Structure 1
Amino acid sequence: MPQIVQFPSPHRVDLADVAPMPLTPASVRVATWYSGISAGTELTAYRGTNPYLTSSWDSGRRLFVPGEPSFGYPVQGWGYSEVGQVVEVADDVDAPRVGDVVHGIWGHRSDVVLPAASLAWRVLPPDADPVLGTFARVGSVALNAVLAADVRLGEQVAVFGQGVIGLLATRFAALSGARVLAVDAQPTRLEIARRFGAAETVDAAVPGGAGAAVRALTGGGADSAVELSGSDRALHEAVRSVVVEGTVAAGGFYQGGAAHLRLGEEFHHNRVRIVASQISGVPVGLGGRWDQPRLARTVVGQLLSGAVDAPALVTQVPVDAVASAFERLDRGDPDVLQVVLRFDAAPERTP
């Protein structure tokens, strides 16, 4: 019986049996090997803070409105960083083929049927470490934020938050030729940030604020900043860190109010531009050339080339231990970065 990870109620997560999906024309069946947990997004379901749980999203008006929530508990189907093997194809499908290993977005579930066309360009090379495929989406979030910050060769960029996405953003900004300053409160993450290309690291709790520290280290302010922690305090420090008319790419998933974001101070006096880099779109100026498939292809290309040491970030957890994985993420275990759930179909050893 196929299984899916679900949140029955806040602070509870388990596995539920689900009926197998029927194979339909132009589709393939995939047995999941690995599924990465997106800590920022998925913890909002685990903690009960996601706005969809308390409000209704009006897609026509693009507004959250009071009333019936968009969804409620049990919450199922979350997860957007999956890798698996094609085990069955419809008669009218030429690609992908049975045996191909693919990455995509289908949630923490052991078995799924998907349109073949959505996976045809997502086949991993036979000699690739399949775990790398779990970084396609989180890497796209990171790259989108770096693109939104308009990072260029020779510029200085501060990256606030050195979780998985922040570390990937640090690496992509360094690969783009920027001098990167990594900001976080955890020393172990700052150490990894240096390995990922950060020229300087800043303790988020430094007296006077990380924004002032970045300004001192850059000789007057970073050209741009990327904020990926989801903290309004960090967003305010990112605003404080940049030059006059600098850009702050806000890529974190901010919950609740923003008591620490004071718009009458540096934001106002330095004419700082804050842009959202939420992954449903690409930066406006790049819309004619970039889209989400290009983001994913670019990220996977960097992973496969070895330019990004993504495996160093992985903690593999058997899927039946998913509850303990979320407990560790919820308490901010500094030893855990990218949790990857390992399903029963996964090979015993990766290449």
Structure 2
Amino acid sequence: MPTLLRFSAPRVVEVIDVPAPALLPGQVRVRTLYSGISAGTELTAYRGTNPYLTRQWDPDIRLFRDGAPESPGYPLDGWGYSEVGEIIETAPDVGAAVSVGDTVWGIWGHRGEAVLPVEAVAGHQLPTGLDPLAAAFVRVGAVALNGVLAADLGVGSTVAIFGQGVIGLLATRFAVLNGATVIAIDAIEGRRNRALAWGAAHALEPGADVALRIRELTGGQGTDTAIELSGNYAALRDAVRTVGADGTVVAAGFYQGDAASLRLGDEFHHNRVQILASQIGSVPNRLRARWDVPRLQRTVVDTLAKGAIDTTSLVTHRYRLEDAPAAYEMLDVDPAAALQVVLDFS
């Protein structure tokens, strides 16, 4: 019987058995090989801070309303969005889009197997020679690339990237591949060292003087742009202070609670700083005629296949699904202990 990860309550993780769903026309069955844990979005569900658990989202007018959410909260089943698996069964009408034995990447959550519409995995076959573990980074790589595209980086540009977790490191690497000079900021020395190894020109600790230090590194000008990926309001404040006059800050972190650390009457106001939200639901406005989320993901896959980014080196911990509660506890109480945690079903 297939297994599934469930958040039963804040900080309570269970692994349960679920019936195997029947395969309907137009569907395929995928056996999971790897599933990456998001230390950002998923921990908001694990901790109970995700806004979908505390407020009402109105999709028609795209606003959160005060009050208890209309949809039920816990238990939350099958969170996760960085999966890789093998197709083990196809409905007779699926055709040649996919075949039994194909290794595909996609989004179906932390579960041993999934039944999906063929459209969810068609075109998601791994290129020959690409390690399936590397493909567990396609979605987070798209998040990183989206932020880099929003920052409009290129040769001669300078960017400060706050947060050098998995997505921050991927953003650093994409920015370097785009020709930008990267100043990486993170509190963890190992992550700063990885950023330098992936091409960052400088790697700094956060703190009260980080904006001043960056002014010194840039001849007093500040950076052209900053990308904030930690989801920390203090880091967003520092990102605003880091860019020069008329600079742009790409806010790509998943921020929780009230923004008590922001001081919008200071550099934000006096330097006319623009803050752009970057979220994987869409690409930057100026690119929508040519780019979409599938293109972001294809670009990540192509970059991995060419060997320009070694995502497998980011994996620091592998857990079997039955040991997932320990993985979430570690990420919750000791985030510096891990970089990428993967659930291994292989």
TM bucket, shorter chain = over 0.9
- 1:127 CA displacement: 2.4
Kindly report which structure 2 residues correspond to 1:26-105, keeping only aligned pairs within 5 A, or say none: 26-69=26-69, 70-93=71-94, 94-105=96-107
Q: TM-score, normalised by structure 2?
A: 0.97
Aligned residues of 2:134 and 2:310 also touching (Cα < 8 A): no
Question: Does 1:231 find its partner at 2:236?
Answer: no
CA distance in 2, matches of 1:201, 1:218: 14
Q: Which residue of 1 aligns with 2:253?
A: 252
**Aligned residues between the structures:** 342
- 1:338 CA displacement: 1.0
Amino acid at match of 2:158: Q
Residue 193 of structure 1 aligns to a residue whose secondary structure is helix
Q: Which residue of 1 aligns with 2:186?
A: 184
Aligned residues of 2:303 and 2:309 also touching (Cα < 8 A): yes
Q: Which residue of 2 aligns with 1:210?
A: 210
CA distance in 1, matches of 2:263, 2:22: 53
Q: Which residue of 2 aligns with 1:283?
A: 284
Residue 176 of structure 2 aligns to a residue whose secondary structure is helix
Task: List per-residue Cα deviations over 1:9-30 (Å, max 9, x = no partner).
Answer: 1111121111212111111100
Aligned structure 1 segments of 4 or more residues deviating by more than 4 angstroms: none
Q: Which residue of 1 aligns with 2:299?
A: 298
Gap regions ≥5 residues in structure 2: none
Residue 130 of structure 1 aligns to a residue whose secondary structure is coil
Q: Which residue of 2 aligns with 1:127?
A: 129
Q: Which residue of 2 aligns with 1:13?
A: 13
Task: List per-residue Cα deviations over 1:130-162 (Å, max 9, x = no partner).
Answer: 011110000000000011111111110000000
CA distance in 1, matches of 2:314, 2:154: 26
* Segment drifting more, 82-91 vs 209-218: 209-218
Q: Which residue of 2 aligns with 1:319?
A: 321
Gap regions ≥5 residues in structure 1: 347-351
CA distance in 2, matches of 1:80, 1:177: 29
* Segment drifting more, 109-118 vs 62-71: 62-71
Residue 171 of structure 1 aligns to a residue whose secondary structure is helix
CA distance in 1, matches of 2:308, 2:242: 28
Residue 288 of structure 1 aligns to a residue whose secondary structure is coil
CA distance in 2, matches of 1:306, 1:165: 18
Q: Which residue of 2 aligns with 1:167?
A: 169
Aligned residues of 1:319 and 1:341 also touching (Cα < 8 A): yes
Cα RMSD over matched residues? Answer: 1.0
Residue 337 (structure 2) aligned to one of 335, 338, 342: 335
Task: List per-residue Cα deviations over 1:95-152 (Å, max 9, x = no partner).
Answer: 2100000000111111111111221110013422101111000000000001111111
CA distance in 1, matches of 2:56, 2:334: 30
Residue 155 (structure 2) aligned to one of 153, 156, 159: 153
CA distance in 1, matches of 2:72, 2:142: 26
Aligned residues of 2:331 and 2:337 also touching (Cα < 8 A): no
Amino acid at match of 2:35: S
* Segment drifting more, 40-49 vs 116-125: 116-125
CA distance in 2, matches of 1:138, 1:291: 15
Amino acid at match of 2:37: I
Amino acid at match of 1:145: G
Aligned residues of 2:237 and 2:261 also touching (Cα < 8 A): yes
